[in-house]
Amino acid sequence: MITYLINHKKTLTGRMPMTTKNQTLRPGTAPDIKYKDTVFRKLFSDPARFLELYNAMNKSSYTNSSELEINTLDNAVYLGMKNDVSFIFHNELWLYEHQSTVNPNMPLRDLIYAADILASKFYDKSIYSSVQIKIPSPRFIVFYNGNENFPEQYTYRLSDAYYKNPDDEASEPFLELKVLVININGCYNEDIKRSCKTLSDYQTYVSLVRAYSTTMPIEKAVSTAIEECIGNNVLREFLEKERAVIMSLSVFEFNKEREFKIVRQDEREEGIRIGMERGLERGSIITYVKQAVKYGVSHKDAINDAADKFNVTEEYIRNIIAEAKTSH
């Protein structure tokens, strides 16, 4: 049985710690159940299945799942869903996530996640001690099965998000975090899927739901996919045992995915609209300055007048004039 603890001491990060799965619930408290699990998390929260995936990823053959220490955070959510599974095994902290959308901010999220895991694990240790505290080595893996084109494997780096200082381009970042994204669509990473039938079956189930959802309501699509998987021995035991839960989670998950796609499309359209408006504004400013200079106003005074008229800074105007000259 997995138990919980809500600890009200501040953590090493200075924040209230997130709830972790390997802890005990204190009287009068309750874990946050606002957010739903994903099917991926429900599936691989089982230590035996997690170990199967671990072995596939590391080409190992461990069999004793009791050595795994579950450290999944209850309050770590993405798109309103808990989609991660975290274990410590052989002094390594493994975080496995499923993503159906491309997200370059994964390293930043995992940095915060890892800090909270370590804070929850070592909150009663003195980090100011002269004795070094040993911590597990973190590994961040994302299994991607979205509809967007994506390479077979890709590594996101936290340093990709850093503001670039030309003077520091040649130096190594003082803080780095890497997230390896594994594409499990189609024929990608077949060696991993062959070594982990559960992962392969999971992708088969997701693909069936997606395919059926194009021609029928999502509830019917999920139900049909479950029946087909059971009939073909794809996640049969899991789906037979958890049918009602998986129905609910899958419908919620796919609705969230569709909602996110709609929001992204709206953002793209809004970005295009704003870009067009800014382009028109920039053109108007440049034309205003040129006309003013043409009629005898000094270039400096023309920029000053344009800044007042368009409610922008003089530096902004000088920059767009310089960019316009460069582009021509």
What SS3 string covers the chain? CCCCECCCCCCCCCCCCCCECCCCCCCCCCCCCCCEECHHHHHHCCHHHHHHHHHHHHCCCCCCHHHCEECCECCCCECCEECEEEEEECCEEEEEEEECCCCCCHHHHHHHHHHHHHHHHHCCCCCCCCCCCCCCEEEEEEEECCCCCCCCEEEEEHHHHCCCCHHHCCCCCCCCCEEEEEECCCCCCHHHHHHCHHHHHHHHHHHHHHHHHCCCCHHHHHHHHHHHHHHCCCCHHHHHHHHHHHHHHHHHHHHHHHHHHHHHHHHHHHHHHHHHHHHHHHHHHHHHHHHHHHCCCCHHHHHHHHHHHHCCCHHHHHHHHHHHHHHC
Going from the C-alpha of 37 to that of each of 13, 84, 97, 291, the distances in angstroms are 26, 9, 12, 61
Give the Cα separation of 154 and 300 in Å (integer): 49
pLDDT at 54: 92
| Mean pLDDT confidence for 182-194 | 94
Chain segment 113-141, per-residue pLDDT in tens: 888 888 887 777 777 788 888 888 999 99
pLDDT at 328 over 60: no
Give the Cα separation of 264 and 256 in Å (integer): 12
Chain segment 249-297, per-residue pLDDT in tens: 888 887 776 655 554 554 555 555 555 556 567 778 888 888 878 777 7
- Cross-strand partners of 180: 141, 155
Chain segment 71-82, per-residue pLDDT in tens: 654 544 433 335
Q: Which two tokens stand for residue 23?
A: 């802890």
Full-model pTM: 0.67
Going from the C-alpha of 245 to that of each of 5, 42, 68, 274, 319, the distances in angstroms are 24, 9, 25, 43, 57
Question: Where residue 98 falls among pLDDT bands split at 50, 70, 90?
Answer: confident
Give the Cα separation of 170 and 108 in Å (integer): 22
> Shortest CA distance to 105 belongs to which of 82, 79, 86?
79
> Shortest CA distance to 242 belongs to which of 57, 45, 110?
45
